[in-house]
Amino acid sequence: MTPPVRWIAAVALVAVALGAPAASAQEIKLKLSHFVPPAHNHHKNVLLPWVEEVRKRTGGRVEITIFPGASLCKPPQQYDCARDGIADIAWAVTGWTPGRFPMTSVVELPFMMRTAATGSQMLADLWDKYLKQEYQDVHVLFMNVHPAGHIHTSGKPVRALDDLKGLKIRTPTATVGDLLEMLGAAKVGMPITQVYESMSNRVIDGFVVPYEVIPPMKLAEVSKYHTEIGMYTTAFATMMNKKKYESLPADVRRVLDETTSAKSGFWKKIGASWDAAEVPGKKAVLDRKNEVHVVSKEDRRKWRDAVRGLDEKWASDMEKRGLPAKAILKEARGLAAKYGEAD
């Protein structure tokens, strides 16, 4: 026997009165893409805790599924994946899309800072005035840099400037490539995910990374010599598809903003976690009995003097594009001095 229409309506009203949630309010599922393995510090100590924090602060409504190791989007395509909605959120190296984020590359200039905590805070300081305008097609959640990177080789140690000449060195970005060329190396651009194979097959002679990335990528297996100089960094951005962000309920957007904004202190906290990972990273190198050469203060000044012209070249190139490069460069170097990390 079919129940009367009035009885069905009454049951529906009772369900609403008891708080039966609408499907749209029950759960929001988001996909987060990145390119490093799950063993990497950023996955374990930055993304996983943040995802859990968002889940808790939204009462379990927001479920973010992480796709590590380029399992959803290829390394150089992370930005495009977020912009185009293939991933709702993606963590990307900004320099892997050359020319798209020119002002952001100011932090990649040589000897800009030593720690990721300072470099990441510098990005936060520069965000509203200079960098925000570069990311109009996506919604940036947070940015960071890695600790100042070193040189790692296999067949030949680099103990002095001249030792670098002619070596084929993997570069992460165009700005760092200019730095390597100025030092006499031959730059070879590629994502970090290709370094192990390229070193194994002797496609390249070496690569530049901070220590922290060596264990998760197993790079101590394909390098023998490590030149500890801390001469550059790379910028990263965690970006969200703009339409997806704008479609979220206001309270969810507020949680995302409060946990990640440039003013929240989160960017510096991310950098600090990367700095902490340098210790086990260097230990992995020493455990294999690899040779570590620490560049002395005196020699470090020689390296720094050899690339001083890169600031001027970078600023000139950017000014030709109508960008306030001289202003942001002056401010960035000033921030490095303010935080005690000017070279």
- DSSP states of 226-252: EEE------EEEEEEEHHHHHHS-HHH
pLDDT at 79 exceeding the cut of 70: yes
Strands (E), the chain: 28-33, 62-67, 89-93, 138-145, 150-153, 168-171, 186-189, 206-209, 225-228, 235-241, 291-294
342 or 236, greater pLDDT: 236
Residues 202 and 169 in one domain: yes
Mean pLDDT on 148-154: 97
CATH of the domain at 132: 3.40.190.170
What rounded mean pLDDT belongs to the chain?
A: 93
Residues 227 and 193 in one domain: yes
pLDDT digits (tens, 9 = 90+) for 2-59: 444 444 344 343 333 344 344 346 799 999 999 999 999 999 999 999 999 999 999 9
Residues 89 and 188 in one domain: no
Residues 93 and 202 in one domain: no
Asked whether residue 328 is assigned to any structural domain, the reply reads no
Q: Which of 12-16, 158-162, 295-299, 321-325 has the least mean pLDDT?
A: 12-16
pLDDT at 133 exceeding the cut of 50: yes
Residues 257 and 135 in one domain: yes
The per-residue pLDDT for 98 is 85
Mean pLDDT on 132-140: 97
H and E: helices and strands count for the chain: 16, 11
Asked whether residue 337 is assigned to any structural domain, the reply reads no
The per-residue pLDDT for 16 is 37
Coil, helix or strand for 31? strand
Residues 223 and 246 in one domain: no
The per-residue pLDDT for 49 is 98
Asked whether residue 86 is assigned to any structural domain, the reply reads yes
Asked whether residue 1 is assigned to any structural domain, the reply reads no
Residues 302 and 177 in one domain: yes
Question: The tokens 């594009």 sit on which residue?
Answer: 321
The per-residue pLDDT for 343 is 81
> For residue 209, what are the β-bridge partners?
150
Residues 224 and 296 in one domain: yes
Asked whether residue 6 is assigned to any structural domain, the reply reads no
Asked whether residue 160 is assigned to any structural domain, the reply reads yes
Closest CA to 64 of 215, 274, 245, 206: 245
pLDDT-based confidence at 117, cuts 50/70/90? very high
User: What is the number of structural domains in the chain?
Assistant: 2
Q: Which of 10-24, 124-138, 168-182 has the least mean pLDDT?
A: 10-24
Residues 45 and 126 in one domain: yes
Mean pLDDT on 131-147: 98
Q: Which of 18-27, 73-82, 165-174, 210-219 has the least mean pLDDT?
A: 18-27
The per-residue pLDDT for 20 is 37
Residues 182 and 209 in one domain: yes
Give the contacts of 324 (CB within 8 A, at least 6 positions apart). Answer: 130
pLDDT digits (tens, 9 = 90+) for 191-248: 999 999 999 999 999 999 999 999 999 999 999 999 999 999 999 999 999 999 999 9
Dist. CA 267–CA 88, nearest whole Å? 20
Q: Two tokens at 80?
A: 């495009």
Closest CA to 328 of 134, 130, 136: 130
Give the contacts of 305 (CB within 8 A, at least 6 positions apart). Answer: none
The per-residue pLDDT for 231 is 96
Residues 165 and 254 in one domain: no
Residues 243 and 126 in one domain: yes
pLDDT at 293 exceeding the cut of 50: yes
Asked whether residue 313 is assigned to any structural domain, the reply reads no
Q: Which of 21-30, 95-104, 133-142, 240-249 has the least mean pLDDT?
A: 21-30
Asked whether residue 343 is assigned to any structural domain, the reply reads no
Q: Which domain holds residue 123?
A: 27-105+112-146+234-276
